[in-house]
């Protein structure tokens, strides 16, 4: 694969004319946005490929489309993990579950859909089975789809917990702080062959994220930005922003945890008729008040290769199209 590569070593950033994936530990942003129905930023979802395992964290809008843009069959995901129950993190679940069960090459699942989530995931899965009972019945009778491929294999947990250990890949969940009324809410840490990726989930400034991400190769963190004057005059924006992390706060998290690379995903930015939403450059400038290390503003289909020896390569999304 040829393309512009941003290679981030300890603190250096260099450009290379060709890309050689280390290949055994890779992260793809499937959705880097929030509930805003934008075609360029679907809502939250992240694919982690480590060794033999394909894992999806959060299942937001458009997840099936992004996976198939990467030529990954929907039915080939080994396990799925939810951080919390805001709809921008779960609204793609019925699509991934049911479309992945169809038997053309984009689907193909013949074994149960493995779903991990904090308390509430069982209710969600049971509700979907009820909502789609007629579709399931029809496709078994008419298309002879394998019945076990549409079953849920639900793992409901209370964080902190080690959830998954398979072929050297370990996934653990930790508690984050998304606000008093938004519980449970967790983040995830994925470890493979001495390397690690941490996903903050939706959270305010969190000491636990700092603890989990200290020494991590890649920290994927949420962020929320708004013009301070607009925030002052809008009680509803104040409520939303009270549940998230500002760029300055995220910069403090990055400085203290010192991951090899910090990446923003779940980028919440708001404006109104008078005030444009902040740009990527605004987000970076605000983060730079508290953090001087390697930083990328994520985009849908951006990919990260977690190499051995502390190198994280970034493949910009344009090269996937
Ligand atoms: Zn949320
Ligand atoms: Zn969210």
CATH number, position 230: 3.60.15.10
In a domain, 319, yes or no: no
State which residues form the domain around 119: 25-314
In a domain, 11, yes or no: no
Per annotation, catalytic residue among 24, 40, 88, 167: 88
Judge contact between 63 and 56, C-beta under 8 A: yes
Judge contact between 179 and 242, C-beta under 8 A: yes
Count Cβ atoms below 10 Å from residue 309 Cβ, excluding itself: 8
Helix axes of 133-142 and 121-131: crossing angle, nearest 10 degrees = 60
Q: What percentage of the chain exceeds 70 in pLDDT?
A: 92
Phi, psi for residue 9 in degrees, rounded to 5: -85, -150
Ligand 2 center to 17 CA (angstroms):
36
In a domain, 70, yes or no: yes
Ligand 2 center to 189 CA (angstroms):
18
In a domain, 39, yes or no: yes
Task: Look up 181 and say whether it is catalytic.
Answer: no
Judge contact between 243 and 202, C-beta under 8 A: yes
All residue ranges of the chain with pLDDT < 50 are 1-4, 7-18, 321
In a domain, 248, yes or no: yes
pLDDT at residue 21, as a whole number: 64
Judge contact between 42 and 33, C-beta under 8 A: yes
pLDDT at residue 242, as a whole number: 94
pLDDT at residue 312, as a whole number: 85
The pocket of ion ligand 2, defined by CB under 5 A, consists of 86, 88, 202
In a domain, 20, yes or no: no
Q: Which pLDDT tens digit goes with each residue over 40-64?
A: 999 999 999 999 999 999 999 999 9
pLDDT at residue 264, as a whole number: 98
3 state DSSP class of 167: coil
What's the pTM value of the predicted model, to 2 decimals?
0.93
pLDDT at residue 20, as a whole number: 54
Judge contact between 174 and 208, C-beta under 8 A: yes
Domain count, the chain: 1
pLDDT at residue 311, as a whole number: 76
In a domain, 307, yes or no: yes
């Amino acid at each position: 694969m040829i393309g512009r590569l941003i290679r981030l070593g300890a603190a250096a950033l260099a450009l290379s004319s060709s890309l050689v994936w280390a290949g055994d530990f890779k992260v793809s942003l499937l959705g880097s946005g929030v509930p805003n129905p934008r075609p360029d930023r679907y809502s939250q979802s992240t694919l982690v490929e480590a060794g033999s395992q394909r894992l999806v964290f959060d299942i937001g809008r458009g997840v099936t489309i992004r996976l198939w843009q990467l030529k990954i069959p929907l039915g080939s995901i080994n396990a799925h993990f939810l951080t919390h129950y805001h709809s921008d993190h779960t609204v793609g679940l019925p699509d991934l579950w049911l479309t992945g069960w169809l038997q053309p090459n984009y689907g193909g699942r013949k074994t149960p859909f493995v779903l991990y989530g904090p308390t509430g995931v069982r209710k969600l899965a049971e509700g979907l089975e009820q909502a789609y009972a007629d579709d399931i019945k029809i496709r078994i009778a008419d298309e002879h789809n394998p019945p076990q491929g549409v079953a849920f294999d639900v793992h409901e947990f209370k964080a902190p917990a080690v959830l998954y250990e398979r072929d050297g890949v370990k996934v653990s969940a930790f508690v984050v702080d998304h606000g008093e009324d938004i519980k449970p809410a967790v983040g995830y840490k994925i470890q493979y062959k001495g390397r690690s990726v941490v996903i903050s989930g939706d959270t305010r400034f969190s000491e636990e994220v700092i603890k989990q991400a200290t020494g991590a190769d890649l920290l994927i963190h949420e962020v929320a930005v708004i013009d301070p004057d607009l925030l002052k005059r809008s009680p509803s924006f104040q409520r939303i922003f009270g549940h998230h992390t500002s760029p300055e706060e995220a910069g403090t998290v990055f400085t203290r945890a010192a991951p090899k690379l910090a990446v923003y995903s779940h980028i919440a930015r708001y404006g109104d008729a008078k005030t444009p939403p902040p740009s990527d450059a605004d987000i970076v400038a605000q983060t730079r008040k508290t953090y001087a290390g390697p930083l990328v503003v994520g985009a849908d289909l951006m990919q990260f290769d977690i190499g051995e020896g502390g190198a994280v390569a970034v493949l910009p999304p344009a090269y996937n199209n």
